[in-house]
Structure formats: structure tokens, C-alpha cells
Amino acid sequence: MSKKDIKAENDVYFLGSKEGGEKKPNSGKIWVIIGVCIAVIAIILVLIFSLQKQEPDYYFEPVTHQTIEKTIPSPIKNDTIKGYVEVLEETVNDVPLFVYLPHDAEMTLSVGQPDKSDSTIIFITQAADIRGDNLEIVGDFVLAGQQLSRGIAKTGFCAIIDGDITIGVKDNTPLLKKAIDSKGYFFRQYPLVSEGELIENNPKNKSIRRALAVRSSKVVMVESRSAESFHDFSQALIDIGVSDAIYLVGTNTAFGWYYDKEHNKTEFGVEQPEVPLNTSYIVWRTN
């Protein structure tokens, strides 16, 4: 065997060499593929994170910009009136508000719209949110001792036990069991104010806002007269002296009514021909 043959036999050919074997892959193309893979993974992670943070699709949260009211004169004489609702108009930091203060009445809850002809009812407004997908009440809800739904998606709560009303913020509160045992009432909503401190919430849209609140040791319902963010509405509550507050179903479509001192009836929102069966209301009845 010649030296030339021995050299040819012992030669080692590397991939991509000019003298033989396969061509070396283009390094530019490799980096493009790696970049695309990284981008796809990043997009997937962003989508997963955003879905985790996204608020559930609640039934009553459309964007609205003004209140809708209709006043009906009373056919009842003033001397027969017991309970009524005092309505105060206040503006703070360019946020106009209505403050509803019930007199001579007790608060309970109802599922399904109360009877409009019930003369003992002086004030109703919607309470808990319901989901848009299955129309179930969101979070713990107790009606006269019966627990109709469970969950702590929202940490704000209102407990009504033996006529006493507690508005607070807590994942697990003994007042839930106490409401069940005492045939009381309980529901959950977004917390807005706790012991005078503002609580931030995820929804960022603007809408008519309503809150069940404690002001000067009295339980009131506060409504914004213009579309507001959660943050601005909560700050306005604090600025008018609210110590604790939770959200109520807002927007100008959420139906309710109240009677003033002269027993004139004012309806607000829009009365729908059909509403979900699980629509809940705060109901104030005259003593």
C-alpha cells in the first residue's frame, strides 16, 4: 500500500468540511429557530399568567355612565308612614354621591326580586354578584340560615345576625357559621374600605358604583352619580367618613327602589322582564 493510500485511509473528515461529509448547518438559521421557540414559550407564559389574574365574568358589570331614576308620587297619607329612606347628596373630590340612610327599618336579604306591592319594604338594592357562565351566586351566601352558595372569591362580607349588621373583610370568619346557626343572613362582595383604609380591587373599568357602608356607626348605601373606578369610589367613601364598606351590584341597570319621608317611591336602574333566579337583594323593611 502506498503512502498516498495510507494517508487517504487515515484521513478524518469533519462535518461541513469542503473535502467530504455533510455540510455544516447554517448557524444563523439555528438562532432564528431558537428565538422563535423562546418567543412562543414567552407568549404561552403570558397567556397563562393573564388568565390566572383575569376576573371571572360576572353577570352585572357592564360599563355605564349615568343613573336612571323614576319617582312615583305616593297615594298614602303621611300619618300612616313608619319607615323611610333619607337621601343625601354629597360631592367630594369631584365625585358626586347619593347617600341612602334608612330610618325605622331592619335589613335582611332576598333571592329573587321582592314583591313591589309589599308595603313593608322601604328600600331594596341588588347585593351579590352572579357569574355570567352558570348564573350562580358568587361566594358564600346565607338566606335565613340556609347556605345557598360557598366560596371566598371575594373577601368582603356582610353578616346580619339577630338584627345586628357587621361589614368586614376576612377569608374565614366565624360569623358565617353563626349566621347559619342563628338563621341569619350572610353574603360576600368586593371589599372597598376596612377600618378607614382603602382596599384595591382588580377590575379597572369605570361604572356607576354602589356600596354598603358604615358611616358614623350607621349602615348606609352609597351610590356614585357618575361612572367611577373602584379606586376613586373607595377613596370618596373614605373622604365622606366611611369606616368600612363592601361593594354592591352597581351600574345603572341594577334595579331597586326606595320610599322617602313623604312615601314617594323612587325606582332606580332598569326593571328587566326576566332576571336570573339567583339575583339577590338587600331588603330594608319598616319596623
> What is the value of pTM for the model shown?
0.75
Going across the sheet that includes 69-72, the strands are: 69-72, 265-268, 256-259, 121-126, 280-286, 105-111
H or E element: which one contains 265?
strand 265-268
pLDDT along the chain (287 residues), means of 10: 45 43 60 72 60 44 48 55 92 95 97 92 95 90 97 95 97 96 97 96 87 97 94 97 95 86 90 87 93
C-alpha cell at 257: 327602589
